[in-house]
A and B are shown apart, each in its own frame.
Chain A
């Protein structure tokens, strides 16, 4: 280009023509370059979207089967001899009775021809170890069941579930799969007799964690997340809004407030795992708070989400026009009244949006919670912020680490639940923004 420009500056029509010619010659190539560049941009976006699609489909495809679970139909006779031979109905006797034996006798009844010990053991393995607990729960709830018969559906063991869902290949040699030929034959018979089928997996939504994949559920983790987020919200929201109001409306411009601002910006970019180290050293070792409790998790996550909330709240305060402030002051309001009665209500939707986004971040956070012991294996559903518990993302991490094939789909299903919560929170934030957004 510089060449042609140099030629164009010299006089003469022929020269100028040749300059245009040179320009023309280059033009096609330049337009090709233009189209190529445009294409690169489009490809980049499509690649990003493809990754997203791939990620989501792979998770949904893996996780969807976990919402179904194979159940086996058992006609249980609540044998008084087995449960309560003395007929005392004392809770202690009822809770200690051998309910697994009831399940076993029903299974023997289904397949009377099986008699060898080894075969029997194989047969018993079809039903989940949790079936006995289910029976105990029923009897403890209603002792009048003793002596009667009832048909109940109990989950099968995870191997049977995997076989029915097709994750275990029937055509492999017997010693390479976890289900024996004999067991497959029994399962097929049960299915033919309509005593074995896949149904909606309610256990997944009501149970706590378990070592048995078919009994493991997310309710414990969901409640842990709820308590953790409650602690986080009740700390981070007032502190974040307070900081934002102070910095935007009251703070004098001096070294100290500069320091606070630099600090907040830096805290926003500190790796989350470092907050975990802080929680471990300060809250657990120094203050002696218990490990694995949602309270400590909530404290750590509150410190982590504070910068997000502060930055969003400050933006919301900044967007309130100064005329509102001047009008309030002009009417004789004190500065605190001006903020409390006028600025804060107008900025509130923006602050709430920022807070919800901060909470969504906290809900998905895993690493700092690993540091403060929330990785413990806990079966009980926590009943408060001081009960040991775990949270959804940590539960996902724990299940992802488990070797059983059945936990893979549980993990993906838990991810779907987590993503569902995140989508709801973000949708709420978007709705708030759309509903209350004001242009001044």
Chain B
């Protein structure tokens, strides 16, 4: 009947007890033959303690995790099987609503309709099952923990290789944690791919990749205009490219020039102040940039445009792109800084010896030598710009506009993913699935850019190492 944090706490305490018991036991068995404490033991006494504690904690924790994962499903099934047959035969979506109502009723929330006795009974049943489950969990887990202590305690003997056993467990943990990275990638690929495939069953790939029209809102009635929705992503990618290009136009010159100045000209003091200050730009959350773009920069640009007689959309690509560029400046500058510093001093000295000025050395020697690395860094920055979400969600438009005019509003891939997936959603409409298809393309584009960029940067580093 313990609450979850209490249960975990009790487990921790029990493990500590197990540690003490195991340690004491090892000392006790080792002195049985009359030797000094700890002399005949294979491992240090603490390892026997850890061994017992692991036996106490790990099986119990695994059980708790499994229980939590399965509990709600099992209870829901049990409650459904107890409902009147006419409710059970409802289609799945309606049944889910009923189950939701029962859960709301059980937790004392307001429900969406009249409470009939059957529902009330089901809610009570639900609560009762939950109580049983929680009580059973407590009992079983505590029994398992105490049983674990007993097993660990019994296996303590001078010949027992406790250290090897404990180290094996730690090793398993290390291997498992390092495979989380693989599992994450796999999870991303699978989750995005499955939904995308379902989407492509409804909408052909060619239409998705080459269609010029994007309006994912499907109409409710079949005879309405645009009833099928249009899923041509060319305007989205054009918008993404436009905004990313504007960002690069801002970020690359400023980032590159400040990296050059900081690493080639600036004295130590200036560098120590300016570099961290510039890097603050990278630490500011993107939602802050989005707010800044929408509230300050966009109106500024619009006013400036109106004053010279241009009509500027209030959600112009220029505002979003410029602010995104500001965000990327430190990214470009710190990557360029790395590669510029990797250029060997001998090349600079050679250039000075031939009588070239500092800037000539930079332009004709350092930059060409560092170019591959810089290009790699810029590619990474582009992939960052393409995947950036909050700035464009807050400052770019929603309507898919196929235009190259930076003063108009365009939309991007990430904006569309967010708008398609926030709010109420049903999981089988092409509208929702389209977001996953967009996510797949986004993932692939950034993956390819990253692989190329990392490869280029590594090749470049090897060249001078």
Q: Is there contact, CB below 8 Å, between A58 and B178? A: no
User: Which chain A positions have C-beta within 8 A of B418?
Assistant: 273, 367, 370-371
In the complex the two chains form, what is the Cα distance from A51 to B293 in whole Å?
Answer: 12
Q: Is the CB of B177 within 8 A of A274?
A: no
Interface residue? B344 (CB, 8 A)? no
For chain B, the bracket of interface size reads: 35 or more
Residues of A with C-beta under 8 A to B386: 271
In the complex, A272 Cα to B287 Cα: how many Å?
13
Tell me the complex Cα distance, A285–B288, Å. 30
Cβ contacts under 8 Å, B194 to chain A: 281
Q: Interface-forming stretch among A37-45, A70-78, A119-127?
A: A37-45
A139, B97: Cα distance in complex, Å: 38
A360 interfacial by beta-carbon distance below 8 Å? yes
Smallest CB separation, B69 vs chain A (Å): 7
Q: Given A246-B177, A271-B446, is A265 in contact with B287 using a C-beta cutoff of 8 Å?
A: no
Bound: A92/B255 CA distance, A? 64
Please judge, given known A-B contacts A59-B292, A260-B181, A281-B436, whether A367 and B389 are in contact too, CB under 8 Å: yes
B residues 430-450 in Cβ contact with A at 8 Å: 435-436, 439, 442-443, 446-447, 450
Q: Are A250 and B383 in contact (CB under 8 A)?
A: no
Please tell me which stretch of B15-23, B113-121, B259-267, B310-318 contacts chain A, meaning at least 4 of its Cβ atoms lie within 8 angstroms of it.
B259-267
Given known contacts A263-B181, A306-B180, A274 and B283 CB-to-CB distance under 8 angstroms: no
Chain B nearest CB, measured from A368 CB (Å): 9
Q: Contact check, A364 vs B287: say whether CB atoms are below 8 A apart.
A: yes
Task: Assess whether B294 is interfacial by the CB under 8 Å rule.
Answer: yes
Q: B281 contacts the other chain (Cβ, under 8 Å)? A: yes
Contact B451 A277 (CB under 8 A): no
A334-B163 contact given A49-B278, A366-B390, CB 8 Å threshold = yes
- Complex CA gap A265/B182 in Å reads 11
CA gap between A131 and B296 in the complex, in Å: 34
Q: Can you list 14 A-B pairs with a CB-CB distance of less than 8 A?
A: A44-B258, A48-B333, A55-B288, A55-B326, A58-B296, A243-B180, A260-B179, A265-B450, A266-B185, A282-B187, A282-B191, A286-B191, A370-B418, A415-B291
Distance A411 CA – B326 CA, assembled complex (angstroms): 21
Interface on B for A, CB 8 Å cutoff? 69, 72-73, 163, 167, 170-171, 173-182, 184-185, 187-188, 191-192, 194-195, 253-258, 260-262, 264-265, 274, 277-278, 280-281, 283-292, 294-296, 326, 329-330, 333, 357-360, 362-363, 380, 383-384, 386-390, 393-394, 414, 417-418, 421-422, 427, 435-436, 439, 442-443, 446-447, 450-451, 454
**A55→B443 CA distance, assembly (Å):** 31
| Known A38-B359, A396-B287; contact A239-B427, beta-carbon cutoff 8 A | no
A343 lies within 8 A of chain B by Cβ: no
Q: Say whether, besides A41-B258, A269-B446, A62 and B295 are in contact (CB < 8 Å).
A: yes
Find out whether the CB atom of B262 lies under 8 angstroms from the CB atom of A45: yes
- The interface residues of chain B lying within 8 Å CB-to-CB of A281 are 191-192, 194-195, 436
9 further A-B contacts with Cβ under 8 Å, apart from A36-B359, A336-B171, A412-B291, are: A33-B360, A34-B358, A243-B178, A267-B185, A277-B191, A280-B421, A307-B181, A396-B291, A397-B287
Q: Indicate with 1 or 0, residue by residue over A371-411, a CB within 8 angstroms of chain B CB atoms.
A: 10001000000000000000001101100110000001001
CA distance A366 to B390 in the complex (A): 7
Comparing A83-91, A191-199, A418-426, the segment that makes contact with chain B is A418-426
With a cutoff of 8 Å between Cβ atoms, the chain B residues found around residue A33 in the complex are: 357, 359-360
Are A422 and B285 neighbours in the complex by a CB distance under 8 Å?
yes
CB pair A30–B357 under 8 Å, yes or no, is yes
Report how far A45 CA is from B277 CA in the complex, Å: 10
Q: Which residues of A contact B281 (CB under 8 A)?
A: 48, 51-52
The reply to whether B284 and A360 form a contact with Cβ atoms under 8 Å apart is: no
Q: A37 to B359, Cβ gap below 8 A?
A: yes
User: What distance in Å separates the Cβ of B442 from its nearest Cβ neighbour in chain A?
Assistant: 6
Q: How far in angstroms is the closest Cβ of chain B from A267? A: 6
Let me know if B174 and A271 touch, CB within 8 A.
no
Q: What is the distance, in angstroms, from B128's C-beta to the closest C-beta of chain A?
A: 21
Bound Cα distance from A51 to B152, whole angstroms: 63
Tell me, yes or no, whether A440 is within 8 Å of chain B by CB: no
Contacts of A245 in B (CB 8 A): 174
Measured CB to CB, the residues of A under 8 A from B are 30-31, 33-34, 36-38, 40-45, 47-49, 51-52, 54-55, 58-59, 62, 238-240, 242-243, 245-247, 250-251, 259-260, 263-267, 269-278, 280-282, 285-288, 303, 306-307, 310, 334, 336, 360, 363-367, 370-371, 375, 393-394, 396-397, 400-401, 408, 411-412, 415, 418-419, 422, 426
A55 pairs with B292, CB closer than 8 A: yes
CA distance A40 to B363 in the complex (A): 13
Nearest CB in chain A to that of B186: its residue: A263
**In the docked arrangement, what's the CA distance between A415 and B287, Å?**
9
In the complex, the answer to whether A306 meets B278 with C-beta atoms within 8 Å is: no
- Report B-chain residues with C-beta under 8 Å of the C-beta of A272: 387, 389
Closest to A49 in B: B277
The docked-state distance in angstroms from the alpha carbon of A272 to that of B286 is 11
* B284 touching A419, Cβ below 8 Å: yes
A246-B174, A250-B174, A277-B439 are known contacts. Are A366 and B291 too (CB-CB below 8 A)? no
A266 CB to closest chain B CB, in angstroms? Answer: 6
Cβ-defined partner of A265 (8 Å) among B254, B290, B454: B454
**What are the residues of chain B within 8 A of A238 when measuring CB–CB?**
177
Query: Are A260 and B357 touching (Cβ within 8 A)?
Result: no
Chain A residues with Cβ below 8 Å from B357 are: 30-31, 33-34
Residue of A nearest to B362 (CB): A37
A393: chain B residues within 8 A (beta carbon): 285, 287, 390
**Residue contact A264 to B181, C-beta cutoff 8 Å:** yes
Q: In the complex, what residues of B have CB within 8 A of residue A277's CB? A: 188, 191-192, 417, 421, 435-436, 439
- Whole-angstrom distance from the CB of A283 to the nearest CB of chain B? 9
Across the two chains, which residue of chain B brings its CB closest to A31?
A: B357
Are the CB atoms of B394 and A397 closer together than 8 Å? yes
